[in-house]
């Protein structure tokens, strides 16, 4: 309460409840010096009201969702009067910052759109793939969601309204910029994106109820390791859904689009799931020309199951 009981810090808290922002962006909105803004941010982070995430030389700040004071922070923001002039002006300047961010992302996407359009033309429509993924990972089972290799954040948008919280991880800062704009556009405040490596996810073990790997595995040098890392972060009973191509002969995707693998067989995906102590489940296949997309689900055993999906016998305590 002491940390937030200062006018500028209250403004910062309100802004970070609406969007992930850097020090530079907050400086533009607040009209204050960078050292002063940095000091305010430091105090709010130390108080557990804001979360700070590093991306190379940049750091992003947002209203905390996991720390002890997360509920308090949200309550304080909700109590700010809707007609507060200072906050209203701050939010108008935030909108200008987001518009500039959107233009930058749109320019990047425009410059690189040709490669995505080329790949999309080879397989079934994206909406069909998303509909099939939603049928495998039902709303009541999404919970806390992690999307590995989130790219433009599409999986976060698809599952965002069903997830308690959703985090997208990607190694490309440019793609994360596009994803942030997409999330801002649909107003999904429970979703966030982070810079990170799919081989060393920057999240704790057993911290997510569901994980998606959507059209990412074919870029990986070691797909088995990506699946093992996804399994590490799943809670008991949690679910992984992989979407990728079955084996094909489109060599252009390797030569022109950096695809490391030209699809995967059921046998190798099943083997990798089992090696990661996940229980393979029945897949879905979406025929395209010439690329067929497969969805491979796997489940982590619940605490009372073994890795084969069998219920373990109840242990009777000895008295």
Q: Is the pLDDT of residue 227 over 50?
A: yes
**84 and 21, same structural domain?**
yes
Residue 102 lies in a domain: no
Using pLDDT thresholds of 50, 70 and 90, give the confidence band for residue 316. Answer: very low
Contact assessment for residue 168 and residue 202, using Cβ atoms and an 8 Å cutoff: no
Do 143 and 69 belong to one domain?
no
CA torsion, points 130, 135, 136, 142, in degrees to nearest 10? 80
In this structure, what DSSP letter does residue 153 have? T
Q: Is residue 305 included in any domain, yes or no?
A: no
Judging by DSSP bridges, how do beta strands 165-170 and 144-148 pair with one another? Answer: parallel
Which is more confident, 316 or 169?
A: 169
Whether residue 210 lies inside any domain: the answer is yes
The CATH number of whichever domain residue 263 belongs to comes to 3.40.50.150
Q: In terms of domains, do 181 and 292 share one?
A: yes
Do 90 and 129 have their domain in common?
no
Residues 271 and 162 in one domain: yes
Residue 296 lies in a domain: yes
- The reported pLDDT for the residue numbered 115 is 66
Residue 286 exposure: Cα atoms within 13 Å on the Cβ side: 19
What's the average model confidence in pLDDT over 120-134?
Answer: 82
Residue 309 pLDDT grade (very low, low, confident, very high; cuts 50, 70, 90): low
CA angle 126, 130, 134 (to 5 degrees): 170
pLDDT of 177 reads 87
117 found inside a domain: no
Region label for 115, one of left (φ > 0), alpha (ψ between -120 and 50) or beta (otherwise): alpha
201 closest CA partner among 191, 189, 212, 190: 212
Q: Are 219 and 149 in contact (CB under 8 A)?
A: yes
Measured CA to CA, the distance from residue 197 to residue 230 in angstroms comes to 12
Domain that holds residue 68: 7-96
Residues 156 and 218 in one domain: yes
Report yes or no: 69 and 2 within 8 Å, Cβ to Cβ. Answer: no
Residue 72 near residue 50 (C-beta atoms within 8 A): no
Check whether residue 210 and residue 288 sit in a common domain.
yes
Number of structural domains the chain divides into: 2
Higher pLDDT, 143 or 219: 143
Please tell me whether residues 92 and 142 are part of one structural domain: no
**What CATH number does residue 32 fall under?**
1.10.10.10
- For residue 119, give the 3-state DSSP assignment: helix
pLDDT above 70 for 126: yes
> Is residue 272's pLDDT more than 80?
yes
* CA distances in angstroms from 48 to 25, 37, 43, 167, listed in the order given: 21, 17, 9, 19
pLDDT, mean over the chain = 86
User: Ranked by mean pLDDT, which of 54-58, 135-139, 227-231 comes out on top?
Assistant: 227-231
Do residue 134 and residue 178 come from a single domain?
yes
User: Do 165 and 190 contact (CB within 8 A), yes or no?
Assistant: yes
Residues 92 and 149 in one domain: no
Could you report the per-residue pLDDT of 135-173, keeping only the tens digit for each? 999 888 899 999 999 988 999 999 999 999 999 999 888
**Pair (32, 69) in one structural domain:** yes
Domain boundary among the residues 79, 96, 113 is at: 96
Confidence category of residue 234, pLDDT binned at 50, 70, 90? very high
Domain match, 17 and 151 both: no
For tokens 């679910």, name the residue.
239
Maximum CA extent, the chain:
70
Among 67-71, 108-112, 228-232, 250-254, the range scoring the smallest mean pLDDT is 108-112
Average pLDDT over residues 3-27: 92
CA atoms of 33 and 19, how far apart (whole Å): 20
Picking from 249, 275, 166, the residue whose alpha carbon sits closest to that of residue 214 is: 166
């Amino acid at each position: 309460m002491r940390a937030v009981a200062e006018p500028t810090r209250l403004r910062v808290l309100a802004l970070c409840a609406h969007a992930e922002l850097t020090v530079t962006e907050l400086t533009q909105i607040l009209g204050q010096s960078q050292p002063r803004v940095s000091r305010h941010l430091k105090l709010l982070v130390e108080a557990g009201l804001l979360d700070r995430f590093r991306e190379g030389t940049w750091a992003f700040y947002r209203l905390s969702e996991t720390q002890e004071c997360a509920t308090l922070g949200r309550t304080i923001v909700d109590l700010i009067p809707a007609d507060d002039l200072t906050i209203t002006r701050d939010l108008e300047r935030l909108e200008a910052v987001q518009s500039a961010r959107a233009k930058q992302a749109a320019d990047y996407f425009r410059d690189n759109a040709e490669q995505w359009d080329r790949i999309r033309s080879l397989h079934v429509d994206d909406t069909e793939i998303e509909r099939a993924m939603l049928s495998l990972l039902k709303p009541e089972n999404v919970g806390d969601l992690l999307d590995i290799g989130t790219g433009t954040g599409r999986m976060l948008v698809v599952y965002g309204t069903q997830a308690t919280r959703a985090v997208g991880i990607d190694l490309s800062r440019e793609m994360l910029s596009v994803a942030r704009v997409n999330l801002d556009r649909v107003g999904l405040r429970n979703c966030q994106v982070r810079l990170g490596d799919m081989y060393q996810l920057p999240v704790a073990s057993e911290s997510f109820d569901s994980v998606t790997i959507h059209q990412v595995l074919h870029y990986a040098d070691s797909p088995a390791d990506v699946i093992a890392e996804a399994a590490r972060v799943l809670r008991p009973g949690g679910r992984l859904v992989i979407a990728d191509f079955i084996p094909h002969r489109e060599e252009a995707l390797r030569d022109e689009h950096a695809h490391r693998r030209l699809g995967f067989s059921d046998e190798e995906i099943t083997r990798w799931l089992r090696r990661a102590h996940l229980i393979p489940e029945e897949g879905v296949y979406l025929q395209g020309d010439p690329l067929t997309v497969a969805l491979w689900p796997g489940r982590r055993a619940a605490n009372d199951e073994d890795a084969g999906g069998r219920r373990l016998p109840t242990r009777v305590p000895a008295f």
